[in-house]
Amino acid sequence: MHKKTFTLHMVIPDTPPGICSDHMITAADIRTMADRWMRASRPLKIQDQRYGHRLVQMLAEYNGEEIKRFDDPLEAAAFIVLVRMVKELDLVDY
């Protein structure tokens, strides 16, 4: 019987996650995330699916400007949706 061994190599990026890197998030990245969120909304309970669909709609209405401060599409998508939610609820008092 032969023992199998392996070596784990980790690559640690120079730029920490969430900090601007060489890759800027594009509208195509956001559309991809919206497609994934739409598929994720399908198995929700019927009464909850509309909430998932609303999140997808918020991403789909994204105007296509590049989000330069994020290198993670999920973080960018969450930021877009949260900004839209705050705007819709008009929660900002300045």
CA 58-42-45 angle, to 5 degrees, is 100
In a domain, 11, yes or no: no
Task: Indicate the Cα dihedral angle 72, 73, 79, 83, nearest 10°.
Answer: 150
Q: Report the pLDDT value the prediction gives residue 87, as an integer from 0 to 100.
A: 86
* 43 pLDDT higher than 80: yes
Beta bridge partners of 67: 25
Listed range (6-10, 18-22, 81-85) with the worst mean pLDDT: 18-22
Q: Report the pLDDT value the prediction gives residue 22, as an integer from 0 to 100.
A: 58
Q: For residue 44, give its domain range.
A: 27-83
* 18 pLDDT higher than 50: no
In a domain, 10, yes or no: no
More confident residue, 69 or 76: 76
Unique residue bearing structure tokens 């120079």: 14
Q: Give the whole-angstrom CA distance, residue 69 versus residue 25.
A: 9
In a domain, 92, yes or no: no
In a domain, 12, yes or no: no
Q: With bands split at pLDDT 50, 70 and 90, how would you rate the model's confidence at 38?
A: very high
Indicate the number of domains in the chain.
1
